[in-house]
Amino acid sequence: MKSVVLAIDEPTPRGIAAGISRLITTGDLAPGDRLPTVRALAAELGVSPATVSHAWQTLAAAGLIVTRGRSGSTVRAVPREWLPLRYRDFEGETDARLDLSRGTPDPELLPRIALDRAGALADTQSYQLKPDIPHLHDLLRDTWPAPVESITVTNGALDAIDRVLASLVRFGDRVVVENPTFPPFLDLLEQYGLEGIPVALDADGMRVDQFTRALSASPTIVLLQPRAHNPTGVSMTPSRAEQLARALRRSRTAQATVVVEDDHSGAISTAPDVSLATWLPERVLHIRSFSKSHGPDLRIGALGGPRDLVDRIVARRLLGPGWTSRMVQSILFTLLTAPESVGQIDAARDAYARRQDEFRAAMRAFDVDLPDGDGLNAWLPVADERAALVSLAAAGIRVAPGSPFRLVAGEPHVRVTVGLVRDDVEVIASALAAASRA
């Protein structure tokens, strides 16, 4: 009790929460440690039980403690082990009035169709049929960002990336990856025993100077996000893509390196469709996901590239799940071609772009200048990551901590899912600006 009281500089809900947060950060309070009861700490601080209870709610909303009513409160223990490591920072439900931590699309902007229209297109009568329905395959080929030899449908972007790694890498291989990047990418690298080589981004994509140096390590894979980069919102320009392709072609130590592009937000991105395959068709696997545009539970994406690489992935997959449900493929085809759903996606793209613009304008009004962004997310610099999470939890807002997105340490940030900010943007911006300085 004494160490807890000494850590609290100000006996307000925010001050109590900040003090407990510091004890957790320093390790003075370990996972599973029991906290003082609300009444006992209130008496020690000379405040009402409601004040301490409010602080406990803030800490619980920030994911730092677990409260169980009369059973007391404890420091949050290690999450369930079935979750990959970097997913654990986003685990669990929250009482926050506004959850901007998930990176998911706005459900109100997803298209809706009648299933009976899609069912007629799927007709699976043999295990030896080609994995993809012809209608969808031809549509994907016509809309691919560069000429492509072979395309196959997968169960989303991460499924495609997992299968690429399983087919192309060996333990100890090196992979060039953006820093920051999507946390599950880093978990996948660890699962396969791979060494990540970080490359920072600027407003146009991966920095050419750092990328060129990274190629000297003879990487097997370059893993990048060409548009609406998660978490920063950066979209690679065609000029930058050409520069990276040129660096790859000239590098003597990366002649066998394969580029894997995750275009996870393609249909709702406002940036030009871009791929290094325009200049390196024989060495690029481009992945297109429809989760952000058409719904996360659709679980469908597409992988395209050189025939020999794609065929290896298809052949191995037939020995496992076999293929992506042709019924689901038919649903996607309908969503991509029906005029009403095409119109809904166009409207969603405009809505997300407008929310990005409004959010950045609102942040500028509070002297926080963010670079232009695309897609669903924004990368907000903060003075202290943990303090920002606690401050926002006290305001009823949840965001994602920045540390799981980084391969190597860097300036503290939090990721904000701007795509879910439908209204009250000035109020939310005010809270975020205050938290960034906490």
What would the DSSP string read from start to end of 270-287? -SPP--GGGT-GGGEEEE
Residue 156 has what pLDDT? 92
Read off the pLDDT of residues 116-134 as tens digits, 9 standing for 90 and up.
555 555 555 455 566 788 8
Where does 186-268 show beta strands of DSSP type E?
195-199, 201-202, 205-206, 221-224, 258-263
User: In the predicted model, what is the mean pLDDT of the chain?
Assistant: 88
Read off the pLDDT of residues 10-42 as tens digits, 9 standing for 90 and up.
888 888 888 888 888 778 888 888 888 888 888
* CATH fold of the domain at 115-336: Aspartate Aminotransferase; domain 2 (3.40.640)
Tell me, rounded to whole angstroms, the distance of Cα 309 from its chain centroid.
26
Residue 128 has what pLDDT? 54
Residues 6+ apart with CB under 8 A from 398: 61, 62, 94, 96, 98, 99, 100, 101, 392
For residue 295, is pLDDT > 70? yes
The residue behind tokens 């000239």 is 250
For residue 187, is pLDDT > 70? yes
How is domain 2-75 classified at the architecture level of CATH? Orthogonal Bundle (1.10)
Domain 85-108+341-436 has CATH 3.90.1150.10: yes
pTM for this prediction: 0.81
* Amino acid making up residue 211: F
Q: How many residues does the chain have?
A: 438
Say if 2-75 and 85-108+341-436 have the same CATH topology. no
Residue 139 has what pLDDT? 95
Percent of the chain with pLDDT over 90: 60
Q: Where are the domains of the chain?
A: 2-75, 85-108+341-436, 115-336
Q: Structure tokens of 354?
A: 């407008």
Among 438, 344, 428, 423, CA closest to 378 = 428
Please give the Cα distance from 81 to 246 (Å, whole number): 42
- Among 176-180, 192-196, 236-240, 282-286, whose mean pLDDT is lowest? 192-196
